[in-house]
Amino acid sequence: MKKIKEIIVVEGKDDTVAIKRAVNADTIETNGSAVNDSVIEQVRLAQKTRGVIIFTDPDFPGQKIRNIIAENVPGCKHAFISKQEALPKSGRGIGVEHAAPEAIRIALKEAQMMEHDSPEEITMKELLEAGLIAGPGAKERREMLGLLLNIGFTNGKQLHKRLRMFQISATSFYKALRQIEQEE
């Protein structure tokens, strides 16, 4: 089983169990979206010593946790799974704990560092013209783009922010967009 050097930040115990089914790794559990100072300090220490991968659920609370940690602990990597991969086989809810071990391994392998300044910014106008903001099918196109670029699912405003933070080049953006258009 592959050993992950970085410490993985997850939401709870069930996520830790799912991660350990997929890879040999250590985790820090936030125990919900009210991330306290103690957890932030643990994540800071982990980032200094081994590095951190934030791997939260693809939903609003998961995004909130991701944002809190990223704001307080710069330099973390980010792993994402799609909402489809996070659905339970039966029952309700959405989360990392429901993902197949292979989906978890792929997400961790493709974890990316968020940067804060992009040399060539894709504009909101370009996102609108590409049918990614507003209009029929925009949500589905954003979801496909998030999967292709490994930046997770977002709303339109978040998409613009993530393209900048991950420093997605115009070349990569338009290549993924062409792939989406071919699949439609």
Stretch 113-141: mean pLDDT, rounded? Answer: 79
The HSE-up count of residue 12 (CA atoms within 13 Å, CB side) is: 13
What are φ and ψ of residue 134, in 5° steps? 65, 160
Positive or negative: CA dihedral 133, 135, 138, 139: positive
pLDDT at 67: 86
Q: pLDDT band at 124, cuts 50/70/90?
A: confident
Cα–Cα dist 82/147, whole Å? 7
Q: H or E segment at 7?
A: strand 7-10
Q: pLDDT band at 7, cuts 50/70/90?
A: very high
Query: CA dist 107 to 6, 16, 67, 75, Å?
Result: 14, 15, 18, 18
Q: Domain coordinates of the chain in residue numbers? A: 7-113, 124-183
Residue 116 has pLDDT above 70, yes or no: no
pLDDT at 118: 42
The predicted-structure confidence for 147-180, as pLDDT tens digits, reads as follows: 888 888 888 888 988 888 887 878 788 888 888 8
The predicted-structure confidence for 84-95, as pLDDT tens digits, reads as follows: 888 887 777 889
Q: Are 31 and 110 in contact (CB under 8 A)?
A: no
Cα–Cα dist 65/90, whole Å? 25
For the chain, what is the mean pLDDT?
Answer: 88
Q: Pull the structure tokens for residue 137.
A: 């099918």
Stretch 72-84: mean pLDDT, rounded? Answer: 90
- CATH hierarchy code of domain 7-113: 3.40.50.140
Residues 6+ apart with CB under 8 A from 69: 9, 30, 35, 40, 43, 52, 54, 76
Cα–Cα dist 146/80, whole Å? 9
The percent of residues above 90 in pLDDT, for the chain, comes to 46
The predicted-structure confidence for 25-63, as pLDDT tens digits, reads as follows: 999 999 888 899 999 999 999 999 999 999 999 888 998
Which amino acid makes up residue 122?
A: I
Residue 115 has pLDDT above 60, yes or no: no
